[in-house]
Every structure is written in C-alpha cells, then in structure tokens.
Amino acid sequence: MIISVKLYTKKGDQGQTGILSNQRVLKNNPILEAYGDVDELSAILGLAQTKNCPPALETHLKRIQSELLVLGTELASLDMEEKQRKKLPQLNEEMISQLEQEIDQMDAELEPLTNFILPGGAASACHLHMARTVCRRAERRTVVLREKLENRPSILPYLNRLSDWLFVAARWSNLKAGERDHLWNAS
C-alpha cells in the first residue's frame, strides 16, 4: 500500500517552520540559517560531480554529502533534549581524520603554494571553490550557535577541516583536468 503525502503543508506560509524538537521557529532562526548553508553546500557538491569531476573525487563527494546530512540533522536537533539527540547520527573524529588523510593525499600531488590563487580552472574545481566559500559561511553561522554545541564537539572542527579539504580538492581537480592554478598577481 502506498500512502500519499502532499509536499506542501502551508504551515510555513507565515515565515515559520518546524524543527526536530517539534517547535515552530522563524525561518531566519540561527539554527535554520546554519543548516540551510549546509544544505546549500551539499547542493554545490552535487553540482561539482557533474562536470569533468575525477572519479575518485566523486566518490569522496558523495560520502561528504552523506556526512553533511548528519551535520544538518545535528544542527536541526540542537533544541532537543540531550537524551533524544543521542539517538540521532552524529559527526565523529573518524570523519575528521578521513578528511585530513585525503587532504594529505591530494596535497602530496600538488605543487607547494607560494602565492594566493584565484578560484578558477576546470568546472569541477570552480564548483569546489564555490563550495569552500559556502562551507566557510556555514562555519561562521554555526559559530553563532556555539553555546548549544557543547555536547557536539565535532561540528566546528568538521566544518573547518572540510573547507580546507575543498580548497585542496579544487586544486587537485584542476591538476587532474590539466589546468594550472590561477595565481593572483598583486600588481
């Protein structure tokens, strides 16, 4: 038996939405701002997979999109009681370590940076540079929630490491596409 549910509820027509704690909050609530940026980041990572994305990178990006769903769930549950939140998936140190290992692997193939670079190059690299800026915004928005994050120690380190990962992945994507970094010329 298939149960049909309408996509629209009209409950948000006055600028409020429901969160995991079953509260209704304004759509500009800092929690929604943070996980909205995480959602945008995931969408850009989907876009990065569409144009000349190295297959190995595509696999990593799909994993990261799944981790971003975990992150979004963590942010959406910040107003829940801790007992209830513990039942939900959480980011962990292994996910952060995985990003660090991949940064080191990709970086080992790249020329050392001696100059600032401008976002550009292959389409996948451009999308990854854009994802990095959205990741930094998500991190800034999440810092606002710092007091609510005390039982979620992996959230801010994960976002910080992910933005580093995205920078290196953009450079690595250019390398694999035969593109050079676009160096900034200050003059």
Does residue 20 register a pLDDT over 80? Answer: no
What is the H or E stretch that residue 26 is in?
Answer: strand 24-26
Find the Cα–Cα–Cα–Cα dihedral 4, 12, 65, 49, rounded to 10°.
90
* pLDDT tens per residue, range 34-67: 999 999 999 999 999 987 888 889 999 999 999 9
Q: Could you tell me the two tokens for 59?
A: 């696999």
Burial 154-163 (b: 16+ CB within 10 A, else e): bbbebbbbbb
Please give the DSSP secondary-structure letter assigned to residue 146.
Answer: G
* pLDDT tens per residue, range 106-164: 999 999 998 899 999 999 999 999 999 999 999 999 999 988 888 889 999 999 999 99
* pLDDT tens per residue, range 101-116: 999 999 999 999 988 9
